[in-house]
Structure 1
Amino acid sequence: MAFTNKDAAIVLGMVARGDKRHDIAAWYGENQARIAEVEQGQYGNLVAAPANELPPKGAPGPKGRRLRSKVTKAVEALEKGETAAALQILRDALTDFAKNEA
């Protein structure tokens, strides 16, 4: 996969924030060599994306597994007609997903 300029700017923002290179690569389903290419300027002279445009810090795998588990619980609540409970589960899941993790 080739990064777009926007992707590369986000990568630079994540690097500037101090994210681990393997976590950055995992967010994009790439290997660390692609991250190194961005850092070396192979995508041009880009400015790092601001913090409010970056994904949450940390490996995406554990975040995805927790999110999937909570979505499953929300679907079960919806199937029981528990709309308010499902909505709260989903809100909590998004808040948890957005947390920055080391």
Structure 2
Amino acid sequence: MTIKPLVLATLLAVAAVSSISCASTRTSEGTGEYVDDTVITAKVKSAFLAEEGLKVAEINVETFKGVVQLSGFINSRADADRAIALARGISGVTSVKDDMRIK
């Protein structure tokens, strides 16, 4: 009968450690946040593809905790403004950082 409490305690310890390792910190994402950011990145890229005249191959999109960072080379400030507006319009985006450079 002493094995059951030992097994239960071990399972509880494993569950506690597992849940802590999946939690987010200021500098790292939890599992759920990573999946959310991946979805946001895909939605931003899809919006760029649907926008005619925007060279999406030259715009890199990265998302961390809902903050979208756009980088790469673009043809004009108007293209940058259009990309930023599209990214801001995506559900889940909290802010957009503009690191794009005009060629």
TM-score, length of structure 1 as denominator length = 0.30
More strand by share: 2
Mark the structure with the bigger radius of gyration: 2
TM-score by length of 2: 0.30
| Structure with higher helix content | 1
